[in-house]
């Protein structure tokens, strides 16, 4: 059976320039490999990666980059089953329109939908015309569903599925043996286009070959703002150190990759596994660099482990203190000891590792004194050597306690759930706090690390970026040229 996986174009609110992540879709490539291993003819339409410099207006309030829904549907032949991957809320309406367009072209052909986001809002996609919405992990469920469509298995054998007539809840959450899974089918992606961009989820440089890989999945923590507890059921799955080393070597040999973006939510839960991976990289003389764009948990790090990570090639990671107020951390159900972070940041800086710290403004229950504590804490981190700070404004997500918070109401559709929720009644106040905090951070950094500050400006212009912030600033310059090319594109208004 021909099966075509669809990665939608990157979409963001015009008011939220860079809330999207235009990186190599590694999760989709891992799923494609698993489906291909079951004997299906699999391909990927990467609607962003195939035309990443093409912008168009979508539904007036949004900007998309890549192929349009109509162009995507043009690429799906009648004898193929399409599967639309929906990763986040900002892709919600775009993917609904892709589903509608596919059904307009061929109403009798089954359309599959799956992904992180659809697991929590499957009904919207069924109403749009999707015949099947796959919940949770797809490596087992998608091949089983394709076998059912072929008439080889019974419907009763399926798990984690929503159709117009049935809702089959997930019996299993994150039970997949990652060691048994094939490496991601990145051969189905337009890799050269990504390498030419000079940006990705993690800091990337134009022309430098890099690869996104996942070595683990899931999260055992239960932060109130996060969907992970519901997605993974508190489970953390990991590939063995040997499997990770094998995967790194595969990409080195096949694609001449020497820089890796490790996309794990929680890479360092198992300390021995981390040590074995680092020692394996050194023993095999892989001569690679790697970064952690999704971050590391501060609870899993200490100075000795940082030394080993640096020796093995770590060049960047982020941490998520979320707030400088312990009172707010309790409101978030976050148990981290944030007093350790300045020491970790200082150690990483001395080792030559670039660092980022992630904060959230506007947590329900947050008061002005909490924000003052956060700003003072960020100045402390700036003195310790942190090279960038990111501060989105709190937005709720489906299946999280924050979704029911009275302070986080006012959005009209899923696409509004982004890092700049302009619909919040207190948005202007929080945005002023955010901008003021950035000013405090950069001025403190300039006075305490003036040489590093000047080097940062130089890297933005040369493209040799160490951080996401530098990369994003450079991306802004490039995108301004792309927008000039895109003037005249007709809005897509379903």
CA dist 422 and 157 (Å) reads: 45
Average the pLDDT over 372-395 and give the result: 96
User: Per the structure block, which two tokens stand in for 438?
Assistant: 């950035």
> What pLDDT sits at residue 14?
78
> What pLDDT sits at residue 122?
94
Q: Which residue has the higher pLDDT, 479 or 437?
A: 437
Q: Which residues contact 356 (CB under 8 A, 6 or more apart)?
A: 295, 316, 317, 318, 319, 386, 387, 388, 389, 390, 467, 468, 469
pTM given for the model: 0.93
The structural domains of the chain, ordered by start, are 2-168 (3.40.50.280), 198-482 (3.80.30.20)
Q: Which residue has the higher pLDDT, 473 or 491?
A: 473
Average the pLDDT over 355-380 and give the result: 97
> What pLDDT sits at residue 371?
97
> What pLDDT sits at residue 481?
67
> What pLDDT sits at residue 402?
85
Q: Which residues contact 266 (CB under 8 A, 6 or more apart)?
A: 216, 218, 219, 220, 221, 236, 297, 300
> How many C-beta atoms surround the C-beta of residue 228 within 10 A?
21
Q: What sign results for the dihedral spanned by CA atoms 80, 66, 183, 228?
A: negative
> What pLDDT sits at residue 19?
59
Average the pLDDT over 364-387 and give the result: 97
Average the pLDDT over 102-116 and give the result: 96
Q: Is the pLDDT of residue 101 over 50?
A: yes
| Best CA proximity match to 209, nearest among 222, 224, 223, 194 | 194
> What pLDDT sits at residue 464?
85
pLDDT in tens, 115-173: 999 999 999 999 999 999 999 999 999 999 999 999 998 988 898 999 999 888 877 77
> What pLDDT sits at residue 487?
47
| Best CA proximity match to 80, nearest among 181, 1, 169, 177 | 1
Do 208 and 202 form a contact (C-beta atoms < 8 A)? no
User: Per the structure block, which two tokens stand in for 40?
Assistant: 């299906």
User: What is the pLDDT confidence band of residue 233, given thresholds at 50, 70 and 90?
Assistant: confident
As a whole number, the mean pLDDT across the chain is 91
Percent of the chain with pLDDT over 90: 71
Average the pLDDT over 181-191 and give the result: 97
Q: Is the pLDDT of residue 198 over 90?
A: no
Q: Is the pLDDT of residue 392 over 60?
A: yes
Phi, psi of 124 (to 5 degrees): -60, -35
Q: Is the pLDDT of residue 434 over 50?
A: yes
CA dist 253 and 192 (Å) reads: 17
pLDDT in tens, 419-432: 889 999 999 999 99
Q: Is the pLDDT of residue 472 over 90?
A: no
Percent of the chain with pLDDT over 70: 96
> What pLDDT sits at residue 186?
97
């Amino acid at each position: 059976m021909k099966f075509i996986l669809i990665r939608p174009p990157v979409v963001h609110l015009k008011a939220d320039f860079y809330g999207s992540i235009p990186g190599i879709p590694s999760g989709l490539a891992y799923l494609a490999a698993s489906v291909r291993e079951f004997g299906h003819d699999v391909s990927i339409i990467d609607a962003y990666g195939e035309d990443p410099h093409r912008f168009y207006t979508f539904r007036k309030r949004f900007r998309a980059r890549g192929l349009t829904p109509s162009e995507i549907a043009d690429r799906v032949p009648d004898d193929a089953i399409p599967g639309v991957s929906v990763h986040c809320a900002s892709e919600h309406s775009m993917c609904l329109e892709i589903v509608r367009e596919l059904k307009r072209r061929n109403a009798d052909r089954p359309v599959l939908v799956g992904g992180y986001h659809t697991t929590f809002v499957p009904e919207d996609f069924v109403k749009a015309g999707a015949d099947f919405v796959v919940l949770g992990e797809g490596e087992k469920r998608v091949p089983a569903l394709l076998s059912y469509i072929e008439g080889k298995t019974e419907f009763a054998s399926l798990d984690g599925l929503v159709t117009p007539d049935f809702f089959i809840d997930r019996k299993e959450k994150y039970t997949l043996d990652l060691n048994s899974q094939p490496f991601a089918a990145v051969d189905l992606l337009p890799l050269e286009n990504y390498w030419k961009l000079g940006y990705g989820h993690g800091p990337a440089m134009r022309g430098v070959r890099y690869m996104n890989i996942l070595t683990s999945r899931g999260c055992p923590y239960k932060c109130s703002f996060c969907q992970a507890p519901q997605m993974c059921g508190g489970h953390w799955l990991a590939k063995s150190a040997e499997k990770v080393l094998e995967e790194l070597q595969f990409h080195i040999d096949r694609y001449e990759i020497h820089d890796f973006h490790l996309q794990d939510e929680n890479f360092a839960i198992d300390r021995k596994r981390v040590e074995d991976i680092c020692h394996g990289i050194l023993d095999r003389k892989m001569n690679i660099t790697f970064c952690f764009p999704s971050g590391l948990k501060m609870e899993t790090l200490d100075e000795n482990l940082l030394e080993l990570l640096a020796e093995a090639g770590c060049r960047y990671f982020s941490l998520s203190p979320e707030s400088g107020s312990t009172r707010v951390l309790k409101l978030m159900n976050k148990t981290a000891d944030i007093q350790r972070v300045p020491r970790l940041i200082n150690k990483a800086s001395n080792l030559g590792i670039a660092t980022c710290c992630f904060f959230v403004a506007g947590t329900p229950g947050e008061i002005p004194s909490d924000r003052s504590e956060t700003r003072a804490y960020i100045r402390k981190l700036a003195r310790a050597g942190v090279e960038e700070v990111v501060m989105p404004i709190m937005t709720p997500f489906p299946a999280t306690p924050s979704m029911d918070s009275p302070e986080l109401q006012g959005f009209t559709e899923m696409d509004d759930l982004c890092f700049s929720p302009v619909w919040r009644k207190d948005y202007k106040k929080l945005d002023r706090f955010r901008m003021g905090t950035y000013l405090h951070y950069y001025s403190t950094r300039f006075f305490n690390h003036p040489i590093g500050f000047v080097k940062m400006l130089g890297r933005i212009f040369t493209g040799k970026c160490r951080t996401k912030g530098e990369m994003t600033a450079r991306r802004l310059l490039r995108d301004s040229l792309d927008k000039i090319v895109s003037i005249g594109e007709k809005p897509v208004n379903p």
